[in-house]
Amino acid sequence: MMNALQALRRSYWAWSAGRTSAVPISSLRSGRRARIEGRVERLDADTLSLFTQTPCVVHVEALRIKHHRYGPYGNHYVVWETPPPRCSEHSFWVTDDSGSRALIHPRQAIFKLPMRDVSDHPHVNDNNQELRALLAGYGVVATLYIGLGEEVCFLEAVVEQGARLAVVGTPEVKPVRLLGADAGYRDQLVSVPQFAGTPESPLIVMPVENR
């Protein structure tokens, strides 16, 4: 569980990311926190977002759960719980305007992406097994048409191939094995900047225009 100091640090990194200027990927050095900007490119095949099954490179899902409470005099009120978002963990490339690339490992990342309400999407309301498992983790029993019942709000963000993102974090320049088309159809071991966050110093991922 995240402690108060970790939460404060994460808030600071998220705040400062939008005030950091981008640098060329070719200038990155290991251990120096930096911001890069460029086009998103898949490392492997597209992944599917959980709520709408949209093919994409990056996806983020979040819930808002309504809780009914009663005061000491029987008065009813509503509290909305917003658990931490669920973020995809598939690695991807960011390619800047010069063609230089960095590999992003988003397992420890804060995604500052605009979220869309998809509560009325058919896949949210068909009581599928994956959604049941997700909701069970929050003590919510999934039902048919749950998104239309106004008790749970389903939010989603997707980033498709070619979209522009900014990534802020501390890179390490180290070897990665390129396969197939990435290596001209011959396996190669090359050194590239790689970004991987930690709980204390997470990556910040945001649209380029979010500054």
What does pLDDT average to over the chain? 89
State the DSSP string of 90-115: --EEEE-TTS-EEEEETTSEEE----
In this predicted structure, what is the pLDDT of residue 33?
93
pLDDT tens-digit series, residues 111-127: 999 999 999 999 999 99
Nearest CA among 101, 83, 84, 100 for reference residue 92: 101
For the chain, give the percent of residues with pLDDT over 90. Answer: 74
pLDDT at 211: 44
pLDDT at residue 101 in the model: 96
Each residue of 74-112: pLDDT tens digit? 899 999 999 999 999 999 999 999 999 999 999 999 999
Q: What is the mean pLDDT of residues 54-68?
A: 95
Question: Please, is 36 exposed, middle or buried when counting C-beta atoms within 10 Å of its C-beta (0-12, 13-18, 19+)?
Answer: buried
Residue identified by tokens 């960011």 is: 94
Q: Which two tokens stand for residue 144?
A: 């048919």
Pick the range with the lowest mean pLDDT from 149-153, 183-187, 203-207.
Answer: 183-187
Q: Which two tokens stand for residue 186?
A: 């011959």
CA angle 21, 24, 27 (to 5 degrees): 110
